[in-house]
Amino acid sequence: MRQAVMVEPGKIEFGDVPEPKAGEGQILMRIKRIGVCGSDIHVNKGKHPFTSYPIIQGHEFSAVVEAVGPGVDNVKVGQKVTARPQVVCGKCGPCKRGDYHVCQNLKVEGFQTNGCAQDLFVTTRDKIVPLPDSFTFEQGALIEPLACGAHSTRRAGDLTG
């Protein structure tokens, strides 16, 4: 399968690697669309303080389920999906409280761990977000950035007046 690896700021190399498989509790997805946000541009320019190279970018995406591993019952092969890009430890204090967004060992796909800029990508069942059949792949790739905006708006509270 094809993979786009940013080997250093501004330099992307395309290569062929073996196709991944879906293991226990995992979903193999065929990537259909990938968004590019401001943070991705910082990585491209070598200006992201928490990214090392080489890295496979991509954290805003839509995909189709290609295969599911044992223990996956929340999506089906052929279904449109996206997934949360955060990789959390599940063991620190914030994670134990359910505050995964402030995990003390937080990694984000495309920044501290490889992302989805490849033909196929594997994620875990707890991160998958099924999409309605009526969504286009373009709309599906906008779920993550729209969630950021919705979360910010909710946190800001009432701004009238």
What per-residue confidence (pLDDT) applies to 148? 84
Contact 51, 151 (CB under 8 A): no
Q: What percent of the chain has pLDDT over 70?
A: 100
Residue 44 confidence (pLDDT): 96
Checking if the pLDDT of 161 tops 80, the result is no
**Can the peptide bond before residue 20 be classed as cis, meaning omega within 30 degrees of 0?**
no
Provide mean pLDDT across the span 88-94.
96
Q: What is the pLDDT of residues 92-132, one digit of tens each?
A: 999 999 998 899 999 999 999 999 999 999 999 999 999 99
Q: Which residues pair with 92 in a beta bridge?
A: none
Give burial (CB, 10 Å; 0-12/13-18/19+) of 88: buried
Take residue 62 and report the two structure tokens written for it.
Answer: 């839509």
Q: Tell me the domain boundaries of the chain.
A: 2-131
CA distance 61 to 4: 15
Q: Which band of pLDDT confidence, cut at 50, 70 and 90, is reported for residue 11?
A: very high
Half-sphere exposure of 122 (CA within 13 A, CB side): 13
| Percent of the chain with pLDDT strictly greater than 90 | 88
**Topology, domain 2-131:** Quinone Oxidoreductase; Chain A, domain 1 (3.90.180)
pLDDT of 36 over the 90 cut: yes
Whether pTM > 0.85 for this model: the answer is yes
